[in-house]
Structure 1
Amino acid sequence: MLTERQLLILETIIQDYANVGQPIGSKKLQEQLPVHVSSATIRNEMAVLERAGYIMKEHSSSGRVPSLSGYRYYIDNIVKPAQLDQKALGVIRNALANNFSKVDEIIAMSARLLSRLTDYTAISLKPGSKDVKLEGFRLVPLGSSQVMLIMVTSDGTVESQIYNVPVGIHGDQLEAVVRLINEEVVGLPIDEVSAKLQLNAPKLRKYLRGSISLLDVFDNVLGKAVHQQVFVDGKKNLLNYLTNDNIEQVKSVYSLVDHGSGLDELLETNRDFAVIIGDELSDNLLSDYSLISAKYHDGNNGEGLIAILGPTNMQYSKVLGLVDALRFELSQRLSNYYRDFNE
């Protein structure tokens, strides 16, 4: 159990290291501590913290830097989210006040805001689609034997794809397909649509003279609507904090956020608010990083997640306050979006 003075010294070392990125010595601490303490007393307390594994020497410097155990203790016992300043709160509210045509645009904006306000890599996960229903389906003629297949879901998502009509299939046959699909699957949860259509596949093939290409296109568009999407912003910021000059590691870290491979496992958590540090992360490439994530509720069909991936020596109090404020504003914006959409 650390004393109040030891807690204060550990907190000051972590905050100062986040600001300057250099080992912190006793003289520097003496200048920054809000209470008067002799340099000798500070050195003694630092020795206690070092033996406990909360701080450590870095190379030959006489100063100390936080260890992963020190960061963990700080997160669990000391840090408090900073209140977001009015300027940053105004930036968030103004950006989320835009007119968005679909939920994806709001979720993507949340990642953009997080990245812009922290200079770290931001990740936003769209809420799950388990309760979303297929709201509408239609085909829009484009000419030259092409139509656009348009699908609308109850969460306001609109997906579309162009379909090349096979030779020999005419408008009345396509209209019959649209009627059948609307009668049989519109109003169903989207994860039940494919199974229901399979039961009607013989009728659909009859209308389409044996061709199943339209059904393939429909399934493709449906898959895009069902898929939980991940939005990443500030990907290049992740490379600013690599401490290893191994080019293969650089490529792997960038690929992780650029292509999304492994992100699901990285972001998996049962906690509403989580801070995962260094080697606690599931990917050993990220041992010099920390992940702060928070769940948000959309007021309609579930919960999503926003996250910051940055250096272990990030300014935790500031970032925690920002993430907490943004998840609240995002939840409010999504609730308003669904309310307006359903009216």
Structure 2
Amino acid sequence: MLTQRQIIILDALIRLYTSTGLPIGSKTILTETDIDASSATIRNELVYLEKLGFIQKTHSSSGRVPSIRGYRFYIDHLVKPQAVAKDKMQVIEDVLNGHAEQMDDIMHQSARLLSDLTSYTAIVLGPRAESSRLTGFRLLALNDNHVMAIIQTDSGAIENKVFRLSRPIDESDLNKVVNIFNHHLVGRPLTEVARKLAADIPLLIQKYASNSMDVYMSLESVFSDSTEDRFHVSGKINLLDFTEDMDKQKLKSLYSLLENKGDLKLLIDHISQDFDVKIGEEINHELFTSFSLVTATYEVRDHGRGILAVLGPTSMSYDETFGVLDVFRKQLTHTLLNYYLE
């Protein structure tokens, strides 16, 4: 059990270290805080905190830095979300309130903005309504080779996807495909739609609309894009700012992981807490032993839950990151509700 003074010293050391990146000594804590203690007393308390495993010495300095145990104590008991500056608030509102025609546009903008605001790598997962059903489907011929698929769900979400055909197709053949989809897919959960697209629909297309197999192949991809998890990653280049000690092969593996939806799903798909922080080995992946993953969930009424994640060094500014994520998820929820109402 830590005393109140020890907690104040640990809190000060972590805040100072995450803002400066420099090892912190007793004199720095004395001059940068209002603690009522001498430099010698602070020095003795630092020795005790080191024995308990909350902080550790570095080889190149007499100062100390937080340990993983210290960061965990700080996050669990001391972290205070930092207020977001007015100029950053305005940027968040301006970018997320901008007109976007597609859900993917909103998610892409969100990931890029979140990365810019934190200077870390941002991962954004769009809202998922697990029980969503397909309620409408149309095909619109734009010209001889381009067709627009209009997909609507019971949550009110509408996806417009344009795809190119390798050869022209008659409107009558498009209508046959629409009739098959409306009869066999509309009204069913999206998970079942995906299964039927892979198993039943090809046989029906072959039997009743054999000239439309080219359309079916494109539609399978369109529905796959509409039903799979929307992961958007931005700011991978920021990893270079705090991976100078990581060998090139590991860095390549890290980049590869962040581009693989399957790996990303394993990384954050299980997140259900309002806010969550995993530090180093808590992430359960050898590539992330020197990283922290901060996540926040957001809920869009009738449209499901999404996830925001920030990947950075264990020495990241947790107070600032928490503050940005909290403001960001509220604005993103507002933006998505307006998108669904349009």
- TM-score, with length taken from structure 1: 0.90
Counterpart position of 1:282:
284
For 1:206, the aligned partner's letter is: K
In 2: Cα distance, 1:28 partner to 1:125 partner: 41
Distance change (3 Å), C-alpha of 1:326 and 1:211: closer
Counterpart position of 1:192:
192
1:29-82 residue CA offsets vs partner (Å, 9 max, x unmatched): 111121232111011110110011000111142111100000001111111112
Tell me whether 1:204 sits opposite 2:205 in the alignment. yes
Tell me whether 1:23 sits opposite 2:23 in the alignment. yes
In 2: Cα distance, 1:89 partner to 1:68 partner: 31
1:177-223 residue CA offsets vs partner (Å, 9 max, x unmatched): 32332344334332222555655655532332476443332222111
For 2:259, the aligned partner's letter is: D
Question: What aligned pairs does 1:147-186 form with structure 2 within 5 A after superposition?
Answer: 147-154=146-153, 155-165=157-167, 170-186=170-186
In 2: Cα distance, 1:183 partner to 1:293 partner: 41
Cα RMSD between the aligned structures?
Answer: 2.2
Moved more, 305-314 or 204-213: 204-213
Tell me whether 1:330 sits opposite 2:332 in the alignment. yes
Distance change (3 Å), C-alpha of 1:56 and 1:103: same
Distance change (3 Å), C-alpha of 1:172 and 1:157: closer
In 1: Cα distance, 2:200 partner to 2:211 partner: 15
Counterpart position of 2:43:
43
Question: What aligned pairs does 1:105-184 form with structure 2 within 5 A after superposition?
Answer: 105-134=105-134, 135-143=136-144, 146-154=145-153, 155-165=157-167, 170-184=170-184
For 2:333, the aligned partner's letter is: S
1:267-308 residue CA offsets vs partner (Å, 9 max, x unmatched): 132322101111211221111111100110122321010011
For 1:136, the aligned partner's letter is: F
Contact 2:194/2:224 (8 A) holds in 1: no
In 2: Cα distance, 1:194 partner to 1:30 partner: 62
In 1: Cα distance, 2:173 partner to 2:23 partner: 74
Contact 2:177/2:212 (8 A) holds in 1: no
1:87-121 residue CA offsets vs partner (Å, 9 max, x unmatched): 22221111111111122222222212211111111
Sequence identity percentage: 37
In 1: Cα distance, 2:28 partner to 2:121 partner: 31
Structure 2 residues not aligned, in runs of 5+: none
Moved more, 178-187 or 240-249: 178-187
Distance change (3 Å), C-alpha of 1:222 and 1:171: same
Distance change (3 Å), C-alpha of 1:173 and 1:117: closer
Tell me whether 1:316 sits opposite 2:341 in the alignment. no
Distance change (3 Å), C-alpha of 1:100 and 1:210: closer
Counterpart position of 1:58:
58
Structure 1 residues not aligned, in runs of 5+: none
Contact 1:243/1:288 (8 A) holds in 2: no
Distance change (3 Å), C-alpha of 1:64 and 1:161: same
Q: List, as ranges, runs of 4+ consecutive aligned residues in structure 1 with deviation greater than 6 Å.
A: none
Moved more, 201-210 or 284-293: 201-210
Tell me whether 1:240 sits opposite 2:263 in the alignment. no
Question: What aligned pairs does 1:282-301 form with structure 2 within 5 A after superposition?
Answer: 282-301=284-303
* SS of 1:262 mapped into structure 2: helix
In 2: Cα distance, 1:316 partner to 1:19 partner: 10
In 2: Cα distance, 1:287 partner to 1:88 partner: 31
Contact 1:137/1:186 (8 A) holds in 2: no
Counterpart position of 1:250:
251
Question: What aligned pairs does 1:86-105 form with structure 2 within 5 A after superposition?
Answer: 86-105=86-105
Distance change (3 Å), C-alpha of 1:311 and 1:218: same
Contact 2:159/2:226 (8 A) holds in 1: yes
* SS of 1:136 mapped into structure 2: strand
